Chain A
């Protein structure tokens, strides 16, 4: 997508649109060719690029980790095993530090969240036009929408945070019983006479967990992506702007390494903390 052929606005908009497959207004199924068309598809559509990249990255993660896990020996570990063990120990320490209950699900869950989100975020470090251009060249469609960073799609981040939310609900009910969970929502902090206020406060508290989890990751990645897009716009300016753009892109990418790791870590840690709260019997 060369910037000369498009206005800056179009370039930005194009980069922010997912490749959506769904039921079109004219009654046929297919890919949306404009943002408006994608919007019209409503809920019953799927973002092919988000799903594709996230599943691909998840499989990459599971492939390497299960390979290391299968050949795990107690002897001197090889390179891959060493790396995997390092990460597993790091996650294990985090879980031990924040999670006081006993649940064999939590540590693998944390590992999956951390690595998967890290990999999805790391797609941001690739120059933003490479993969979309390649996809356009392969499909022969120069206007193909193609977002390669799944975590800049709220569907992906909310998909994960809602999954975590269901786990929190499930373990809250399982550990405290339905009565205990409802009691926690309604009988504190003001006692049984302040029931509506309690329900409101605790309800907001509960809903805020998945929403903040998803929006934090999405917001950070979306903003980072946006800055990469704006920097990429400088390349069309030529000369000094191009050099400045190159330098800025490098600098922002270096800074972004911190952001993508930090966001993956925060998502993981908060998930552990929420699950810990779900397991804890307080009051």
Chain B
């Protein structure tokens, strides 16, 4: 337990060890620790970012889906509207066409009636003339009584 040269030897040894530790042990370990800490922090940040992006994407997808649904509904509504419109239109067209045909038929009938009446009138006039001739026992001069005959014919 004497104090001797060991004291100085220990001090020198101590300084050498400290120097070695400061040069070759401490910096690489601390650097590695720091780098890993940064790596982990970056990883966590990236994970957070990814999560956030996923949320955004999910939200966007929902929105798009909703939009698509809405659009589809609109299109269907439009199509239905258009279909009913078409039906209405064709109904109208058909009605108009029918009316027109009915009118045409009526006109034709009128015409037929008119023609028949004219014919009938002519025949009646001839009959009347013939009857009158028979009554008068004389010949009616068609030319002389033409005006009279015509007037009668028109009255019939």
A20 near B2: Cβ-Cβ < 8 Å: yes
Please report the C-alpha to C-alpha distance between residue A81 and residue B33 in the assembled complex, in whole angstroms: 10
The number of chain A residues with a CB under 8 A from chain B is 54
A108 near B18: Cβ-Cβ < 8 Å: yes
Q: How far is the CB of A85 from chain B (nearest CB, A)?
A: 6
B10 near A159: Cβ-Cβ < 8 Å: yes
| Chain A residues whose C-beta falls within 8 Å of the C-beta of B21 in the assembled complex | 62, 65, 108-109, 111-112
Known: A88-B33, A159-B7. A108 touches B1 (CB 8 A): no
Would you give the 0/1 interface string for A220-264, flagging 1 where the beta carbon is closer than 8 Å to chain B? 000000000000000000000000000000000000000000000
Please report the C-alpha to C-alpha distance between residue A17 and residue B14 in the assembled complex, in whole angstroms: 23
Task: Assess whether B13 is interfacial by the CB under 8 Å rule.
Answer: yes
Q: How far is the CB of B17 from chain A (nearest CB, A)?
A: 5
- Return the contact of A41 from the options B4, B20, B30 (Cβ within 8 A): B4
The number of chain B residues with a CB under 8 A from chain A is 32
B22 near A58: Cβ-Cβ < 8 Å: no
B24 near A155: Cβ-Cβ < 8 Å: no
| Chain B residues whose C-beta falls within 8 Å of the C-beta of A74 in the assembled complex | 32, 35-36, 39
A160 near B11: Cβ-Cβ < 8 Å: yes
Task: Assess whether A69 is interfacial by the CB under 8 Å rule.
Answer: yes
Please report the C-alpha to C-alpha distance between residue A276 and residue B6 in the assembled complex, in whole angstroms: 28
Please report the C-alpha to C-alpha distance between residue A158 and residue B35 in the assembled complex, in whole angstroms: 38
Interface of B is mostly: helix
B4 near A45: Cβ-Cβ < 8 Å: yes
Task: Assess whether A70 is interfacial by the CB under 8 Å rule.
Answer: yes
- Return the contact of B6 from the options A16, A84, A156 (Cβ within 8 A): A156
Tell me which residues from 69 to 95 in chain B have a Cβ below 8 Å from any Cβ of chain A: none
Residue of B nearest to A105 (CB): B22
Known: A85-B33, A88-B26, A107-B26. A58 touches B7 (CB 8 A): no
Please report the C-alpha to C-alpha distance between residue A160 and residue B31 in the assembled complex, in whole angstroms: 28
Residue of B nearest to A157 (CB): B10
Residue of B nearest to A164 (CB): B14
Task: Assess whether A124 is interfacial by the CB under 8 Å rule.
Answer: no
Task: Assess whether B5 is interfacial by the CB under 8 Å rule.
Answer: yes
B26 near A111: Cβ-Cβ < 8 Å: yes
B7 near A158: Cβ-Cβ < 8 Å: yes
Task: Assess whether A137 is interfacial by the CB under 8 Å rule.
Answer: no
Task: Assess whether A146 is interfacial by the CB under 8 Å rule.
Answer: no
B4 near A162: Cβ-Cβ < 8 Å: no
Interface residues of A (CB under 8 A from B): 16-18, 20, 22, 38-39, 41-47, 50-51, 54-55, 58, 61-62, 65-66, 68-70, 72-75, 81, 84-85, 88-89, 92, 104-105, 107-109, 111-112, 116, 153-156, 158-160, 162-163, 166
Can you list 19 A-B contacts (CB < 8 A)? A41-B2, A44-B4, A45-B5, A46-B5, A55-B13, A62-B20, A65-B25, A66-B24, A89-B33, A108-B21, A111-B21, A112-B21, A116-B14, A155-B9, A159-B8, A159-B14, A160-B14, A162-B7, A163-B14
Q: Across the A-B interface, give the 8 residue pairs with the lowest CB-CB distance, nearest first.
A: A159-B10, A155-B6, A72-B32, A108-B22, A108-B26, A69-B28, A74-B35, A108-B21
